[in-house]
Amino acid sequence: DTGVSQDPRHKITKRGQNVTFRCDPISEHNRLYWYRQTLGQGPEFLTYFQNEAQLEKSRLLSDRFSAERPKGSFSTLEIQRTEQGDSAMYLCASSPPQGSNTEAFFGQGTRLTVV
């Protein structure tokens, strides 16, 4: 396990369809984050898990979005009824449990295109 792994790397879907992305964090990291990045912008925070608990959600995470981390290991991000505005790179990151000033490492991302 050499890093954060995301699957799939690319997803093209039709508007209105549901999509689900998976993230496997670095094994000893109990903190997991989801971000979204659009062209020309920096990543924007979506949600944060510590172990299996979802501790914070951004206002960007509308009710069409849901994230889970059922066993405190991998996480999934589901988008229901996709819209063209959901097209973006979805990034997962993880960090170790020591304190709050810890480094977060990103996976390769899942690039979503809604047509």
Partner 1 sequence: QKEVEQNSGPLSVPEGAIASLNCTYSDRVSQSFFWYRQYSGKSPELIMSIYSNGDKEDGRFTAQLNKASQYVSLLIRDSQPSDSATYLCAVNRPRITGGGNKLTFGTGTQLKVEL
Residues that bind partner 1 (CB under 8 A): 31, 33, 35, 40-45, 48, 50, 53, 55-56, 89, 91, 95, 99-109
Specify the residue, 33 or 79, whose C-beta has the smaller distance to partner 1. 33
- Minimum CB separation of residue 107 from partner 1 in Å reads 6
- Give every CB contact of residue 89 below 8 A, 6+ residues apart in sequence: 36, 37, 38, 109, 110, 111, 112
Going by their DSSP bridges, the two strands 110-114 and 10-13 should be labelled as parallel
Distance CA 19, CA 37 (A): 17
Q: ∠44-34-64 over CA atoms, to 5°?
A: 90
Distance CA 13, CA 27 (A): 30
Distance CA 53, CA 105 (A): 19
- Minimum CB separation of residue 51 from partner 1 in Å reads 9
Specify the residue, 74 or 106, whose C-beta has the smaller distance to partner 1. 106
- Minimum CB separation of residue 4 from partner 1 in Å reads 9
- Minimum CB separation of residue 69 from partner 1 in Å reads 13
Specify the residue, 14 or 59, whose C-beta has the smaller distance to partner 1. 59
Specify the residue, 19 or 33, whose C-beta has the smaller distance to partner 1. 33
